[in-house]
Amino acid sequence: MTRRLASRKAFRQGKPMSSQDSADAAAPSPSLETALLAALERAAGKTLSAPEVAQEIAVEDWHDLIMPIRRIAVKLALDGRLIIYRKGKPADPNDFRGVYRLGLPRHD
């Protein structure tokens, strides 16, 4: 038995997230933004993936948080409050795709 998760059109595979995608989405919840930053603070200088952050915020039904976390991460990265990493290097918040990790800016 094969279960179809979503239509092909629903996925943005291979396309970077644009600022228009962020603008089209509903305004993210300030509590989710606070929870994301708190999770990164608890990580004590380490980076976290979006699923790791989502699982910290909501133990059950965390899958629905992946895209809202991405939208908030882009906003916070543009504000300079966190860094999006791709392959261990800082990524452009307006032009990244694939697996990414989130971290707080270092104040060395």
Question: How far, in Å, CA of 92 to CA of 28, rounded?
Answer: 20
pLDDT tens digits along 69-88: 999 999 999 999 999 999 99
Question: How far, in Å, CA of 13 to CA of 5, rounded?
Answer: 14
Question: How far, in Å, CA of 89 to CA of 36, rounded?
Answer: 20
Name residue 1's amino acid: M
Would you state the pLDDT for residue 102?
Answer: 97
Going from the C-alpha of 92 to that of each of 14, 18, 25, 32, 98, the distances in angstroms are 16, 11, 20, 22, 13
Question: How far, in Å, CA of 108 to CA of 104, rounded?
Answer: 12
CATH topology of domain 28-103: Arc Repressor Mutant, subunit A (1.10.10)
Taking CA 17 as the corner, what is the angle to CA 90 and CA 64, rounded to the nearest 5 degrees?
100
Q: What does the DSSP assignment read for 78-101?
A: HTTS-EEEETTEE--TTS--SS-E
Provide the residue ranges of all domains of the chain, joining segments of one domain with +: 28-103
pLDDT tens digits along 21-77: 544 444 556 699 999 999 999 998 899 999 999 999 988 889 999 999 999 999 999
> Could you tell me which residues are beta bridge partners of residue 86?
89
